[in-house]
Amino acid sequence: MPHSYPALSAEQKKELSDIALRIVAPGKGILAADESVGSMAKRLSQIGVENTEENRRLYRQVLFSADDRVKKCIGGVIFFHETLYQKDDNGVPFVRTIQDKGIVVGIKVDKGVVPLAGTDGETTTQGLDGLSERCAQYKKDGADFAKWRCVLKISERTPSALAILENANVLARYA
């Protein structure tokens, strides 16, 4: 079934190319700072810190307030939804803090993994519903690239053909 989306304009193609080249410039990589609330709970509990939005903000502030030397080795930073709208102690949005260093802001757009029925504990990724609208809003709010994650369980019996097919379909629909 053909999609109904218009082809990218020359300007959009150039923008995407420029973003990709900035992210993967020689010597640069991506900082994944897109920990979910649950992942942050594990991280913070290990150091005896309560998992509150304020403590998560403070943790991210430490990451993002590193001096400008980081721009030599980080091309992009992936944000979690909450992070995209947080600010530092001076009221400066984290998005601007990162952009001011010449680093590209990205956003995690999947909604996590869920069990895949009929498999041995395998998963698929959710979040395709409303994805187009979320991406449009995230772009307006400063994100220039997106991350989507699928997880395959690796063992002697997995991944199953079903898990491979389902996750490939989800990735294709995301793309």
What is the per-residue pLDDT across 60-78, written as a single tens digit (0 to 9) for each? Answer: 999 999 998 999 999 999 9
| pLDDT of 50 above 90 | yes
Q: Indicate if the pLDDT at residue 115 is higher than 70.
A: yes
Number of domains in the chain: 1
Is residue 104 domain-resident?
A: yes
- In angstroms, the CA 119 to CA 134 distance is 30
As to burial, measured by CB atoms within 10 angstroms (0-12 exposed, 13-18 middle, 19+ buried), residue 6 is exposed
pLDDT band at 95 (very low <50, low <70, confident <90, very high): very high
Asked if the structure places residue 117 within a domain, the reply is no
d(CA 66, CA 53): 21
- Average pLDDT over all residues of the chain: 95
Does a structural domain hold residue 91?
yes
Q: Higher model confidence: residue 123 or residue 8?
A: 123
Over residues 65-94, the mean pLDDT reads 96
- Specify if 124 maps to a domain: no
Amino acid identity at 31: L
- pLDDT score for 4: 65
Q: Is residue 119 in some structural domain?
A: no
Which domain covers residue 67, as residue numbers?
10-108
Sign, CA dihedral 20-21-22-28, equals positive
Q: Is residue 88 part of a domain?
A: yes
Residue 114, Ramachandran bin (φ over 0: left; ψ between -120 and 50: alpha; else beta):
beta
* pLDDT confidence band for 174 (50 / 70 / 90): very high
Is 128 inside a domain boundary?
A: no
Task: State how far the Cα of 69 lies from the Cα of 124, in Å rounded to an integer.
Answer: 38
Contact of 133 with 163, CB cutoff 8 Å: no
The H-assigned helical ranges of the chain are: 10-23, 37-45, 53-64, 81-84, 94-100, 131-140, 161-174
pLDDT higher than 70, residue 2: no
Residue 3: its pLDDT value, please? 60
Q: Tell me the whole-structure pTM to 2 decimals.
A: 0.91
Per-residue confidence (pLDDT) for residue 16, from 0 to 100: 95
Give a yes or no: residue 98 inside a domain: yes
- State the average pLDDT over residues 20-40: 95
> Are the C-beta atoms of 71 and 26 separated by less than 8 Å?
no
Residue 132, pLDDT score: 94
pLDDT of residue 68: 87
